[in-house]
Amino acid sequence: MPVIQKISVVAPVYNEEKNIPELCKQLHQVLSNLPYEFEIILINDGSADLSHQKIYEMALLYPEVKGIDLAGNYGQTLALRAGFESAKGDVIIAMDSDLQHDPKDIARFMQKIEEGYDLVGGAKETRPDGWFKSKLSSLAHKVISKLAQVDMSYFGATYKAYRSYLLTQTNLLGDSHRFMGAIVARKGIRYTEIPITIHERAHGTSNYKMNKVWKVLLDLIFLKFFISYLNKPFRLFGSIGFLFSFVGLAGVVSISIGNFFFSLNVKEEYLVEFFSSAFLIVMGLLFLSIGVLAEIGVYNYYGQKRKSPYTIRTIIKKPNHAKETHS
């Protein structure tokens, strides 16, 4: 396995001004005691508080801290992607910035990485949730594991360690960070989990709301499509189109034969069935066309340089480093 020289810790930030100083302090203490170079990348995802200023202050205090100030609120997935694409480490550790993830666990993550694992996930040991949320979360993880065919017990925690080459072609969009473990682990790499304790929030409010449950259910459909059909969408749409067309054609042929040879009165008795069958044929052809267009879109997507889905306002570093502005 390649020798690990540097670690990048990536943490999205949204309205965490009170947590940022303590997070950086704890991370710096932990990382300084490990035998690696390191960097701490904080991505300000359009915070409405003074998170941007706190990141700047931490960059003055700790030279290893780097801030990415996004020009707007893009959500946790794209904030993580911005951090991943900026990271220089051989191992990238993603975590939340609200201090619910314990920086001390990084040493345990790295121990597993050094054992030869490519991905180490954090599986909750204890979490300050109610009974209903815990049961709902457990069910969701079982469904994700089944859909992804990945033997992991917990997908929800951002807290994971990746060898950097696993993240070079992830192209995260939407809310797919929830399934990063499943998306990456299915590539046949070596992965494992370690138990982590998720602490109570000391400051701020959680961004998790119960109305996100519906979004997670929709994202499960996306996960199945992403894993099974992203690179071959015609197999999905083509199969549906063929089924519709076959059933519709069978209905039209059967009714037509009955009309011409068995004196069926289609106009009086089977008009609805005839037009329903014809409609299925049209729907089948439509799905086949969508499949062809989706296949062409996939070839174009992978065949051209893609534009970044986020915009960086500034890169925050120590004053002796010039600020970079991106449009």
Q: Is 197 in a helix, a strand, or coil?
A: strand
Q: Say if CB 131 and CB 231 are below 8 A apart.
A: no
94 CA to centre of own chain:
12
CA distance 85 to 266: 63
Least confident of 41-45, 90-94, 145-149, 268-272: 145-149
d(CA 253, CA 149): 41
pLDDT at 3 (0 to 100): 87
DSSP class of 186: T
304 falls in which pLDDT band (50, 70, 90)? low
The whole-chain average pLDDT of the chain stands at: 80
Whether residue 131 has pLDDT greater than 90: no
Ranked by mean pLDDT, the top range of 142-151, 221-230, 275-284 is 275-284
Strand partners, 160: 94, 121
Q: State the Cα–Cα distance between residues 96 and 98, nearest whole angstrom.
A: 6
- pLDDT exceeds 80 at position 18: yes
CB atoms within 10 A of CB 179: 26
pLDDT band at 322 (very low <50, low <70, confident <90, very high): very low
pLDDT at 54 over 90: yes
What confidence tens digit (pLDDT) does each residue in 69-112 have? 999 998 888 899 899 999 999 999 999 999 999 999 999 999 99
> Closest by alpha carbon to 24, among 34, 11, 15?
11
Q: What does the angle CA 190 – CA 147 – CA 213 come to, to the nearest 5 degrees?
A: 110
Mean pLDDT of 4-11: 96
pLDDT at 122: 84
First to last CA, the chain: 38
Mean pLDDT computed over 55-66: 95
Is the pTM higher than 0.75? The answer reads no
pLDDT of residue 325: 43
Question: Is the pLDDT at 141 greater than 90, yes or no?
Answer: no
pLDDT in tens, 186-222: 656 788 889 888 777 766 565 555 555 556 656 666 6
- Take residue 178 and report the two structure tokens written for it: 């929830």
At residue 84, the pLDDT reads 92
